[in-house]
Structure 1
Amino acid sequence: MSYLIPSYFLIIEKEDLEDLRYDIWDDQPVPAYLKVAKATYDIDIAYRGSYTRKFKKKSYWIEFVNPSRYAGAREIHLNAEYKDPSLMRNKLSLDFFEDLGVLSPHSQHINLTRNGSFKGVYLQLESVDDLFLEKRGLPLGPIYYAVNNNANFSFLRDGKQKKSLLSGYERAFGSSSDDDFFHDLINKINTLPQSDFSSEIKHYIHIDKYLHWLAGAVCTMNNDGFTHNYALYRNSETGLFEIIPWDYDATWGRKVSGGVMHCDYVAIEGKKDNNLSCLLLQVPEFRKLYRNILEEILETKFTVEYLEDKVASLHQTLRPHVLLDPYKKKKVDTFDGEPEFIFQFIRERSSYLKKQLVDFL
């Protein structure tokens, strides 16, 4: 597997850098320049993320101003992956979802230098927007990001009524009229009588793709990914919503802090706070389909044999760059142990899920 890591050179004027640093929670971008290969781009740049903004190694959101496109994108995200000792969990997860047939953003490691100072290895993430759809030959349709844990497909959170049906979501693409489709989705999920649920919900959600996403989230064990860290896209031709994973660094046996997450941390059904998953898995037809999907994934793709070359190749390619990363180079011993850590997680998680499948009828 050939995997090249390009170099990006970020240039920010002193006063603009001071403005950027003044309030790390401010989403207002500052102007800058980005050099890639022989091209120079005028860009707007801001910090991105929630708690990750407090870390020494910051993550960035970049919008291209002139030219307005870079490699077919108008904006990209540069993730520091600061707490992931492997620097590969996010990419490994998103590629895994793609292998499962789930819509997933492209990711690419890059080296970032700012004003002549090397800032280390970053993961560039594709933005989920209209260009994301165009690249895949998909019809345009509204896209909603799940921005916090209110995105639980319910009227309620922690027993309290939410302020609106869109609570927990931000429309990333589309118009206000598209919100009617989203409102209809949440209303149907929460008001359909049990007798009609299985037949009616098929007109709103792509069930097979949703259950493949659920199986992927359960295997990789992203505890945040069931009510957060995903996007919803409505295919305007089918009229069905599809789910897209996002920010999967706290996976493959590691917590958001980088600590160990034991193989039984997430149940076979996923997080119970996700109302849609709970309702779907109460329907015998969907429960059986999910079981079959998960069973097949555990036999074919969520295995050391299937993922070994990919993990080893990523590790081998990243290692010389990690040795230069000012935030990672002192932890290279831990980095070197991460492939086996991930393989052992796969073995233990797979064993746990297979045992749970025995009574999952």
Structure 2
Amino acid sequence: MDNSMKIPEYQLFIQPLDLSELRKDIWDDDPIPAKLTINKRKYDIDIAYRGSHIRDFRKKSYHISFYKPSTYRKAKEIHINAEYKDPSQLRNKLSLDFFSEIGCLSPKSQFVYMKLNGKNEGLYLELESVDEHFLANRQLPQGPIFYAIDGDANFSLMSDLDKDVKKSLNLGYELKYGTVQDELFLQKMIVEINTISKIEFENKIVNYIHVDQYLRWLAGVVFTQNFDGFVHNYALYQNSETRLFEVIPWDYDATWGRDVNGRVMREDYLRIEGFNTLTARILDVKTFRRQYKNLLVDILNNKFNVDYLKPKIQGMHDLIRPYIQKDPYKKDDIHLFDEEPEYILDFIEARANYIREKLDTLD
């Protein structure tokens, strides 16, 4: 990474009355109008708080929609994440970049420095929205996109939340882009995942799931150790040409050896086979299991190791350190920030060793 790079400054202006309205109810998703200046160019935007548990934090995260001009860098909306509980501020970006490098569709991200009505708000991570613009910017066929919004997005007929039969197979998913027909096809796929016989599964599941891509996504979740990643923290995209579903990761700050609250998560916390009904059924097929094992070995050798990742981690750390020193929410914890690259590298080594030791279980 070129450390001479400057992080862009986003100057946000919200009228005082609108700002009071925004702060009055942090759980209100209704946006308020605002202005955003980037590189001396002004944008009229709508802005709201984003996330679930993260809305309670002192440093808020935002969802921004552009309406004049109507796009920014070919995007209609962006997400601005505080990464408040991650002492490194790196994990989400490091994860999403890692997914991209191992062959998954993954949102682009960049660090930005925010000011609100002239006051420093600190370092943020800007995340690309997974929507029709995400597809167009990659020259991918348009197709439905579903967000996995809670634990019911588990590819099962049973609810993860109340441990009962689901009242609707749409539970756990929010249609971000697409039609009612697309929702019906998703329901049909979930039924098939759960009812195709074991003997037919290998030949039939490939009509619904891009299996190679699914295994790459599974490997990404397993390597980064995102415990929630199997029933949450993802989007589903159905390529309209192949009719196959692919999985796109989302919100990957609870990774690389820390949980959602920033606490230590041991390197053996998440098993090599992962979770959820679809994963279990795919890995029950010997051909797919061997394919997954070979993929893990390839990633261990080429992408998930200290030699490969250390320059990336150190480069990101060096890039954002001057901005952490100015961040009103993080500057007093700069000593913790400085310890994190070594902590992440120790996790990578330990996690890689754990995965290598477990590879034989996939035979």
Q: TM-score, normalised by structure 1?
A: 0.98
In structure 1, the partner of 2:147 is 145
Deviation of 1:236 (Å): 0.5
In structure 2, the partner of 1:71 is 73
Deviation of 1:4 (Å): 3.1
In structure 1, the partner of 2:43 is 41
Which secondary structure state, in structure 2, belongs to the residue aligned with residue 160 of structure 1? coil
- CA deviations 1:224-264 (Å, max 9, x no partner) are 11100000000011110000000000000011100100000
Amino acid in structure 1 at the alignment position of 2:231: T
Which secondary structure state, in structure 2, belongs to the residue aligned with residue 170 of structure 1? strand
* Match among 198, 202, 206 for residue 198 of structure 1: 202
Amino acid in structure 2 at the alignment position of 1:39: R
In structure 2, the partner of 1:163 is 167
- CA deviations 1:64-101 (Å, max 9, x no partner) are 01110011110000000000000010000000000011
Alignment of 1:83-122 (within 5 A): 83-122=85-124
Deviation of 1:10 (Å): 0.5
Deviation of 1:139 (Å): 0.3
Amino acid in structure 2 at the alignment position of 1:213: W
Q: Distance in 2 between matches of 1:32 and 1:8?
A: 12
- CA deviations 1:260-291 (Å, max 9, x no partner) are 000000000113xx110011111111111111
Deviation of 1:358 (Å): 2.5
Which secondary structure state, in structure 2, belongs to the residue aligned with residue 359 of structure 1? helix
Tell me the C-alpha RMSD between the 2 structures: 0.8
In structure 2, the partner of 1:219 is 223
Q: Distance in 1 between matches of 2:167 and 2:307?
A: 47
* Match among 234, 240, 254 for residue 258 of structure 2: 254
Amino acid in structure 2 at the alignment position of 1:147: I
* Match among 61, 82, 94 for residue 80 of structure 1: 82
Which secondary structure state, in structure 2, belongs to the residue aligned with residue 21 of structure 1? helix
Q: TM-score, normalised by structure 2?
A: 0.98
In structure 2, the partner of 1:263 is 267
In structure 2, the partner of 1:184 is 188
In structure 2, the partner of 1:288 is 290
Deviation of 1:297 (Å): 0.7
Q: Distance in 2 between matches of 1:94 and 1:172?
A: 20
Q: Distance in 1 between matches of 2:299 and 2:210?
A: 19
Which secondary structure state, in structure 2, belongs to the residue aligned with residue 231 of structure 1? strand
User: Which segments of 5 or more consecutive residues in structure 2 lack a partner in the other structure?
Assistant: none
Q: Distance in 1 between matches of 2:360 and 2:104?
A: 26
Q: Distance in 1 between matches of 2:357 and 2:6?
A: 40
In structure 2, the partner of 1:136 is 138
- CA deviations 1:143-179 (Å, max 9, x no partner) are 0000111100001024301121110000111111211
* Aligned length, in residue pairs: 359
* Match among 204, 228, 231 for residue 232 of structure 2: 228
In structure 1, the partner of 2:13 is 11
In structure 2, the partner of 1:173 is 177
- CA deviations 1:18-55 (Å, max 9, x no partner) are 11111111100000000001111110000000000000
Identity in percent: 54
Amino acid in structure 2 at the alignment position of 1:321: Y
User: Which segments of 5 or more consecutive residues in structure 1 lack a partner in the other structure?
Assistant: none
Deviation of 1:17 (Å): 0.6
Q: Distance in 2 between matches of 1:205 and 1:79?
A: 30
Deviation of 1:334 (Å): 0.7
* Match among 234, 237, 249 for residue 241 of structure 2: 237
Deviation of 1:184 (Å): 1.6
Deviation of 1:187 (Å): 1.2
Q: Which runs of 4+ in 1 moved over 3 A?
A: none
Amino acid in structure 1 at the alignment position of 2:282: L
* Match among 254, 276, 281 for residue 279 of structure 1: 281
Amino acid in structure 2 at the alignment position of 1:267: R
